[in-house]
Amino acid sequence: MEDDIDLMRIALEKAREAALSGEVPIGALIFDPSSKTVVTSAGNAPISLHDATAHAEIRALRAAGEALGNYRLTDLWLYVTLEPCAMCAGAISHARIGRVIYGAPDPKGGAVEHGPKFFAQPTCHWKPDVTTGILADDSSEMLKSFFKTRRKGTQNGG
């Protein structure tokens, strides 16, 4: 879907901004398909905000809830550059997001197609539609480049 690619590019830009701030480059946005508008977007910020829950998805969900005056974001779509972790998958379920679209898979920390497979659990109260692999190579390359640069800095005494 062409719109998915365009919207993931916005999430990738948020990921780039996060990387420039020293955060792991992950970006997210909330999209309203009925009005065709981006409600909000955010990048990862646990380091700068001193908050372990400040993942891009959580920040986007919080901002959308504030903007719309409701924590239930039923029928809205979440775009994120990396497969959501268990914490984010739980928040997505509680927010009643209608569709999740993500870029790169995360075999180590992901919880949608890896790990606990959160949305497939019988205890999951709300299961969004999930689309994977949108600009996955771009998302993956950004993460690999970020960590390669960080490792170089550590090896050189940084």
- Angle, helix 136-155 to helix 2-20, in steps of 10 degrees: 10
Which residues are identified as catalytic?
A: 57
124 is in an annotated binding site: no
Residue spans of alpha helices (H) in 39-100: 46-49, 56-68, 86-95
Q: In what order do the strands lie in the sheet with 129-132?
A: 37-43, 27-32, 77-82, 99-104, 129-132
The one-letter code for the residue type at 131 is T
Spatial CA neighbour of 52 closest among 17, 24, 15 = 24
125 is in an annotated binding site: no
End-to-end CA distance of the chain: 42
55 is in an annotated binding site: yes
Question: Which residues are annotated binding-site positions?
Answer: 55, 85, 88
Question: Which residues are annotated binding-site positions for Zn(2+)?
Answer: 55, 85, 88
